[in-house]
Structure formats: structure tokens, C-alpha cells
Amino acid sequence: MRITTIPLRKIAKQILRSVDVLPGTSYRTMGVKWWGEGAYERETIDGSQTAAKTLSIVREGDLIINKIWVRHGSIAIAGKDVDGCAASGEFPTFELDLNEVLPRWLHWYTKTREFWDKCAQLSQGTSGKNRIKPDLFLAVEIPLLPLEEQRRVVARVEELVGKVEEVRSLRQKVNQEAQALLDSILHKVFVDEENVWMQLNVGSVAEIIDPNPSHRMPHYSEHGVTFISTVDFEGSESIRKKTAKYVTEETYDEQLKRCTFAIGDILYSRIGTIGQARILTEIWDFALSHVLVVVKPNRDIVLPRFLLWYLRSDSIIAQAANATRSVGVPDLGIKRIREFHIPVPPLPEQHCIVAYLDQLQSKVGAMRHLREQAMEELDALLPSILDKAFKGEL
């Protein structure tokens, strides 16, 4: 059936369900995410916490926009979770003519690039502080079918989206199971077997160096030396250089006085997300964030990758959790790291264990890569489904 195009004002009108704001009265506030991601409840505030004199109550099925960010897809159909929330004047609310349009029809249309672009075109020329007027928003044209056809198309869209989400869930489950398998094998290797191996402290098998003992954040520069932190850790082995920040040569030289790097050294997270570790497979000029320490294995006793695998095991993560010094941001001291217990088998046995774990990780990595490819394909399906839906091709 041929789809007609009409301005929003034909099926929606602005509505104000005003309530006075009173100190001592609680109000559930809300927001609208960008790019059609929906409305959400923000926080409950007391009337004394806002300068607004009145707020407007939102009901399930309302169309809501953020006046500033509507051009970034900040548009939504209110769900049950925000029913009864109080919206400020920054979030104009529109009541739909249910004799002409289904809320779910518009719900799916708010997720289309076409709708976002139409809103952006009407918002051109405005600055970040300007707000689109509700009347201008109501000039946006939308595709429309008779109600029965809307029901059919919405049902078809939701059937297809349900199948996509089912596949996504299965892919996620496979990924979680693969990681759980790797974790369980690490536990078996380093916990179940440790009673037959020599027990040492990490400090006796590796040198632990803090290249930034002042723990001050450096001044970033537009150019200079790459500055590595845990945010630059990628996957299970990589360090992402392209998106890293930069610091001055002076900062780099100061760290270089305390520590030089070698292939096989391990960067270990001691603050925040404790236990993340990366082994250096190449050397370039870089400085380290204060959240990282350098672990330099004594290769006469321990293989670098054996130590890396142990640093990732639940055994050492448990030791780290017990040794953290802060109830806020976890903070693990150098002395504590040196005191970690590590089972140390003979070097030939370490070689076998590392080969086995590396092979297993390679297989898990391949599974993750396939999952990421599949997720990208799944992400591309929704725009395709919606494009067909609002062209009358479903």
C-alpha cells in the first residue's frame, strides 16, 4: 500500500499537564537519549532543587523531544518506565491522535536516520544554546499508513527485531562462555596445580617499577610522546596507539630516568581497574600513566608470558582485591604486588603451559572476532528493516 507523508501537526499536538513545583514534594525527572535511544528516568528531586515553577507530567505513549538536541535524534515515545515523570520546559511533550497513528509506529520512526535528518534540517542555523520551537518541530513530515497497516508493519518490524536480538543474545552468550572457559582453565592451572610447584613471591621473580611515583597527572600536549593508560588497552593483548594522548618530551625524559622498557616487560594496572595486564611485544617512545606499573620478569626464573597469564588469573586478582588500599578508587601498592604469591614450575613446564594457554586464547580471540563481525552485521539490519518498513516494502 502506498505510504502518504504528512506533517506531525496532523497527528500530534503539544500538551501541558502542569503541576506546581513545591518544596518538600518529590518529582521524578526524565531525559531523552540521542539517536532514537529512548526516554529514561533520571532522578527523583525535591521541589526545592529546581528553579522551575511548574513541570509537565509525561504519560505513556507521549511523543517527547529535547529542544536543544532534537537535531541529534533526541526524540522518543514515552514508555511505561517514564509514565508519571515530570518534564521541564526543555522537553516539550506531544499527545498523539490514536485514531490516526500508533505510538509504536512513531516509536520505530524515531529510530531512523531519515527522521533525525529532517529534524536537523529544521534546526540548521541554531547554536548549541538555541532551542527548536515546538511549532517548528510539528512541521516535520512523517510517513503514515492506515491504522490496520500500521499494526501489520509494526508487528512485522518487531518480529524481525526480536529475531535479531535473539541472535545477538546467543552471540553474547557464546562470548561469555568462551571467556568462562578460559578463566576456568587459568584457575585449574594456577590454583588447582599450585601445590606441586615451588611457591615464590612476585617480587622474587620480577622487578616492579613505578615510573611515575609522584602519581600526578601530566600536562597533555597536542604533539609529543605517546601517553599510555588502561583506556588504551584493546582486546586481550593490544595497546591502541592511535587514540592515545600525548605528553611532553620532558615528562618522557623524567620517566626514562626511572625505567627503560624491553620486549617482554608487562604493564600492570594498579589503580582503578586492577589486574589488567599487557606484555610489550615492541618498543617505541611512550610514557606511562600513574595507574600502571612495569613488571620486568627475571627470565632465568619465569617466562614473561607465564607471568602475564598468572597476573590475569583469578588467584592473583583475589590477592589484589584483598590488598587494595581504598574503598573508593581501588589502589594497589607496589609492596603488595611484590608480595603476591606465584607458583613457579620449571621453565620447560612453563613453556608448555604458555603454549597451551596462548593456543586457547587464539581460539577464543577468533570466536570474539567472528562475534564482532556478526554484531556489525546485526547492527546494520535494524536500519535496513526500518527503511523498508517506512517505504511500504514490508
pLDDT of residue 328: 53
Average pLDDT over residues 58-70: 95
- The verdict on 33 and 104 lying in the same domain is yes
Q: φ, ψ for residue 62 (rounded to 5)?
A: -70, 150
**Bigger pLDDT: 27 vs 378:** 27
Do 333 and 206 lie in one domain? The reply is: yes
Q: Verify that 362 and 275 share a domain, yes or no.
A: no
Cell, residue 136: 517548528
User: Among the listed ranges 120-134, 208-222, 232-246, 354-368, which one has the minimum average pLDDT value?
Assistant: 120-134
- Residue 131: pLDDT above 80? no
Domain co-membership, 210 together with 322: yes
Claim to verify: residue 181 and residue 211 sit in the same structural domain? no
Based on its alpha-carbon atoms, the radius of gyration of the chain, rounded to whole angstroms, reads 28
> Hey, what amino acid is at 241?
K
Other CB atoms closer than 10 Å to residue 52's CB: what's the count? 16
Q: What is the span of the domain harbouring residue 102?
A: 4-144
Q: Judge if 248 and 138 occupy the same domain.
A: no
- Measure the CA–CA gap between 203 and 293, rounded to whole angstroms: 13
pLDDT of residue 168: 83
> Which CATH number goes with the domain that contains 241?
3.90.220.20
How many structural domains is the chain composed of?
Answer: 3
Residue identified by cell 602475564 is: 308
- Considering the domain architecture, whether residues 175 and 275 belong to the same structural domain is answered as no
In this structure, the answer to whether residues 162 and 235 fall within a common structural domain is no
Strands across the sheet containing 292-297? 206-209, 292-297, 266-269, 277-279
pLDDT > 90? residue 327: no
Out of 296, 318, 341, a domain closes at 341
HSE-CB of 115 using CA atoms within 13 angstroms: 28
Same domain, 139 and 155: no
**Same domain, residue pair 164 and 236:** no
Which pLDDT tens digit goes with each residue over 69-119?
Answer: 998 999 999 999 999 999 999 999 999 999 999 999 999 999 999 999 999
Q: Which residue has the cell 518498513?
A: 389
Give me the chain's average pLDDT, please. 87
Q: With contact defined as beta carbons under 8 Å apart, do 141 and 390 qualify?
A: no
3-state helix vs strand vs coil in the chain, percent to 5: 40, 25, 35
> How much is the average pLDDT of 230-234?
85
Q: Give the best-scoring range by mean pLDDT among 216-230, 287-301, 311-325.
A: 287-301
For residues 208 and 328, state if they share a domain: yes
179 and 122 within one domain: no
pLDDT digits (tens, 9 = 90+) for 133-155: 899 999 999 999 999 999 999 99
50-64, 163-177, 180-194, 358-372: lowest mean pLDDT where?
A: 180-194
- 10 Å CB burial of residue 219 (0-12, 13-18, 19+) is exposed
Q: Which ranges constitute the DSSP H helices of the chain?
A: 103-109, 113-123, 134-137, 147-187, 202-205, 249-256, 304-311, 314-323, 334-339, 347-389
What pLDDT sits at residue 287? 86
pTM value? 0.65
208, pLDDT greater than 70: yes
Q: How confident is the model at residue 126 (pLDDT cuts 50, 70, 90)?
A: very low
